[in-house]
Amino acid sequence: MNRLTMLTTILTIALSAVPVWAQDGDSPKPDDRPQSSKPATTEQANPDAVRQKAEADFSKLLTGATLVGNFTTDSDQPVDPAQLLRPDRYELATVNKVKDDFWLFVYVHKGVPLPLTMKVLWAGKTAVLTLDEFTIAGMGTYSARLMFHGNRYAGTWQHGKAGGLMFGKIETAEFKKQRLANPPRRVVPSKQSEPEIKK
């Protein structure tokens, strides 16, 4: 083998090995590669501030609000569709965070304020009222998961052996003020005289 052939062979082998060398140590590893210059979202930059705002919004939403909706009761027997949904209503005076995951709900039951300290967990910016064997004096023991999103709520309830679903709309304090200021108009049908019958 002459020198030119030998030199060509050595260069060919050397160049074909470059990708292997690069993978072994020269190319940047995934962690070493420059990060995207895309700015972080507010949630990524300051998650504590996002949570604080969500909690403040939740308190404002439910203070002075009324939950107006329906509930169902599970049954192994066929249920008359007319009896499937039953009206439900909960009036709240104030809702404020106490500490950690615990919130004080002042529920107005038959005109009497009833303070209840209950747990609220969060799925992102969505509040979920969470009760596990929670006893209310004179009313019983309840378990529930109730999600609040926008001006709606939905979830499940359990009271002893009875349980079912519950859902509805949140009538905020602001909504109530607007309704009082602009009550719905009643449409009064106009009296029409009977057509005169000619004899």
Name the residue ranges covered by the structural domains of the chain.
Answer: 46-179
pTM of the model: 0.68
pLDDT score for 77: 79
pLDDT score for 45: 74
Q: Which fold has domain 46-179?
A: Lipocalin (2.40.128)
From first to last of its 199 residues, the chain has per-residue pLDDT tens of 555 565 455 545 554 545 544 445 555 555 555 565 666 665 677 888 999 999 999 999 999 999 999 999 998 778 787 788 999 999 999 999 999 999 999 999 999 999 999 999 999 999 999 999 999 988 899 999 999 999 999 999 999 999 999 999 999 988 888 888 887 777 666 665 555 555 5
Q: Are 153 and 141 in contact (CB under 8 A)?
A: no
pLDDT score for 21: 43
